[in-house]
Structure 1
Amino acid sequence: MTSNEDKKSSFQEFKLDQDNELRFEVESKNEKVFLTLKSGKAEVFGTELVKGKTYDFTSGAKVAVYTWHGCTIEIKGRTDVSYIAKETPMVTYSNCHAALELMRIEAEKDNKKGPTTMVVGPNDVGKSTVCRILLNYAVRMGRRPIFVDLDVGQGQISIPGTIGALLIERPAAIDEGFSQEAPLVYHTGHKSPQANVALYTMLVTQLSNTVKERLEVNKKTRASGVIINTCGWIKGTGYEQILHSARAFEVDVILVLDQERLYNELIRDMPNFVKVIFLQKSGGVVERSKSVRSEARDQRIREYFYGTIKNSMYPHSFDVKWSEIKLYKIGAPALPDSCLPLGMKAEDHLTKLVAITPNPGILHHLLAVSFSEGDDEEIISSHVAGFVCVTNVDIDRQIITLLSPQPKPLPNNILLLSELQFMDSH
């Protein structure tokens, strides 16, 4: 082993001055890096580190440890990058939090809805990190905000191919993110909104209505407000989607990361009572290649079934007869206008249910388990109970084998096909 490798893999101690950030990345497969706060105070994306406790990070982790007052940190294990940054946007993010907190205090006095904040910007500018910081700061003030994720590509709340909402009651775990209890999840079945814009728009509206109902019934959450993460599609129809989401959720504040053009367009197009604020992205943000993104998607799906290294889960595998399930996909092939019934619009077919007979083509695909018992429209627009993955299709016996987080029976026999696939390598 060369002395250079030796240096990296032994342990390093970092002394941070106030308002500094230690950034490190773990890329190598099967590599583990251990972090301990030795003295002072520090936080990771708004979650406080406990002094003396050791946190471990595995391959793919990109971590920023920030300190307001100064601290000493020890790292054991091989990092691919590790450096101290003296320039960080944390003070700006903290100011945003303070402004939102003032709005919450006002809302509480008048028993009104607290601020609904939407974070927008292109891919890889740190939108989900800003959401996480703002949510963590809110929870540390005793708030109970709702986190809404409209980014189908990454799927922070459930798996990719979904949008959803989650009540945040405690800070995110340093290494695992927010606890996923009882999330509200809607299935789009695609890894980008472009694949079926009509469906995406419809589900965003549906999700916004459900979130508003939740704000009505819970006083504490109503004052705490909502923080919305969006996808990086910001031009053309993507921009229209941002406007639609902003209207549907009745946003009060839009934080624009790193994109002045988008900031100026929103100032032009949003009503005056919506505050549009431009924020710098963090210098620690890393651009992700297509393959890294797709690897992150696979990882999210794997964790859905198998849990994380810390919290392993043991999924179930069972057979289901074709006759016991109803399998659909959303979106029929388009008909030319001349063939359409009078008064029907061409995009209507995008939000139609199409029945599917199980076939080898669905192998490795994810299926959403619907909650709905109702008609087609209700099946498309109702939230889902969870997901299963097709691991085998037996045509002769007319049976499919499913990988499922829960034992059988399925909570419902209505299943919706997702374009996302998962190769189960366990």
Structure 2
Amino acid sequence: MDRCPILVNLNPRDGVFAMPGALTATPISDNFDLEAVGGYGGSTTSGTTYHNPKQPLVKNYGFEDFAANLDLYRHHISKLGVATMSRLEEDIAVKNSGVIIDTPALTIKDIRLIEDIVSDFEVDHIVVIGNEKLSIDLQKKFVHKVSNNSLCIIKLSKSEGVVELDESYIRKCQEETIKQYFNGYFRNPLSPFKTEITISDFVFYQPVDSSEFNSSLLFAPSGDSFAPDATEETEKKEDTLDKYYKKIDDFSANNLENLVLAVTQLPATNKSPNDLLDACILGYVHVSKYEESKGRLKVLLPVPGAFPRNILIATKIGYTE
């Protein structure tokens, strides 16, 4: 195989070389492992692989629904786009092979998001499957790009053999993906490792659901006496994570047990909140039990090893062993 395209997964519902809830960019240098869950295969994030190892760049979104926090979703897409285009400039084999982007099912209502993706990844072909109206709307929206041949919009009819997925099947696939991440499968079994960590040794965050964030703003004080000056607004904009993440200070079984934690590259001692937005993910662990009396978590790792004392993100992806 003399090509090495980058496969970009922007659908957080699917786990492509990572957990559900992740956005990934992965150079593909050989065949997919069709016997693995999803037909993609494993990656070096969970251990050795039967095929050539895939090394994805992983951004943790933390939700299954791309619309749960569009600000966070767009931010990760932008950062993933920068990293992907940089790789194209540095690697001639990748540049000659191009980028293939898989998105969630989008409509014309998501045009701003589509524009962001086209811009961030310098897209020159859009394939619209089974939605003639969207194809026509995109032709109108990108008329200047289409007219100067910098963008081609291709309409494909949906195959008669395509079956719509129901929620129960999607959830089953997600559970199998998570299980495979930690345990492997018949051809490539892994040796998951259970250990305990002390909560006080780590800093925990969780992604903010936009609907909850906007609801909280309804109860914010209003009026001139509460209006911050321009300097305060600028400082708050630079230093706050309110729209994206919130720190977990009140620990309980409800917000930690049976959840997947993303292990970031940032040490727990990091004091810059904005660094969390740009941090990549080293891997994932699963919380099986929270012992409140001891302040400890029982966690499952895909491979034995020391647990890094880094900032952890509690995703909205649940899983029960």
Q: What is the TM-score of this pair, normalised by structure 2?
A: 0.82
Query: Aligned with 1:376: secondary structure?
Result: coil
Match of 1:387 among 262, 268, 284: 284
Say whether the 8 Å CA contact 1:315–1:403 is kept in structure 2: yes
Say whether the 8 Å CA contact 1:157–1:163 is kept in structure 2: no
Counterpart AA for 1:263: S
Look at both structures and tell me which one has the larger radius of gyration over its CA atoms: 1
Give the alignment of 1:46-125 within 5 angstroms: none
1:309 alignment partner in structure 2: 186
CA distance in 2 between partners of 1:243 and 1:260 (Å): 19
Mapped pair 1:165 → 2:25: yes
Displacement, 1:320? Answer: 0.3
CA distance 1:161–1:356, change in 2 (3 Å): farther
Give the alignment of 1:366-377 within 5 angstroms: 366-373=260-267, 374=270, 375-377=272-274
Counterpart AA for 1:335: L
CA distance in 2 between partners of 1:348 and 1:392 (Å): 28
Say whether the 8 Å CA contact 2:108–2:138 is kept in structure 1: no
1:245 alignment partner in structure 2: 117
CA distance in 2 between partners of 1:171 and 1:199 (Å): 32
The number of residues matched between the two structures is 283
Say whether the 8 Å CA contact 2:205–2:245 is kept in structure 1: no
CA distance 1:341–1:285, change in 2 (3 Å): farther
1:324 alignment partner in structure 2: 201
Displacement, 1:342? Answer: 4.8
Match of 2:85 among 187, 198, 212: 212
Q: Could you give the per-residue CA deviations for residues 116-155 of structure 1, whole angstroms, max 9, x where no partner exists?
A: xxxxxxxxxxxxxxxxxxxxxxxx4x11110000000112
Counterpart AA for 1:229: D
Displacement, 1:404? Answer: 1.0
1:261 alignment partner in structure 2: 133
Say whether the 8 Å CA contact 1:370–1:412 is kept in structure 2: no
1:14 alignment partner in structure 2: none
Say whether the 8 Å CA contact 2:18–2:24 is kept in structure 1: yes
Query: Aligned with 1:317: secondary structure?
Result: strand
1:285 alignment partner in structure 2: 162
Query: Aligned with 2:127: secondary structure?
Result: strand
User: Whose strand fraction is larger, Structure 1's or Structure 2's?
Assistant: 1
Displacement, 1:313? Answer: 1.5
2:48 alignment partner in structure 1: none
CA distance 1:342–1:156, change in 2 (3 Å): farther
Displacement, 1:403? Answer: 0.9
Say whether the 8 Å CA contact 2:19–2:177 is kept in structure 1: yes
Match of 2:57 among 184, 188, 191: 184
Displacement, 1:182? Answer: 1.6
Between the aligned residues of both structures, percent identity stands at 26
1:197 alignment partner in structure 2: 70
* Structure 2, unaligned runs of 5 or more: 44-53
Match of 1:360 among 222, 231, 253: 253
Counterpart AA for 2:161: G
Query: Aligned with 1:285: secondary structure?
Result: coil
CA distance in 2 between partners of 1:356 and 1:409 (Å): 25
* Structure 1, unaligned runs of 5 or more: 1-139
Counterpart AA for 1:366: V
Say whether the 8 Å CA contact 1:307–1:313 is kept in structure 2: yes
Say whether the 8 Å CA contact 2:241–2:274 is kept in structure 1: no
Displacement, 1:348? Answer: 6.7
1:221 alignment partner in structure 2: 94
Match of 2:103 among 226, 230, 237: 230
Match of 1:400 among 271, 287, 297: 297
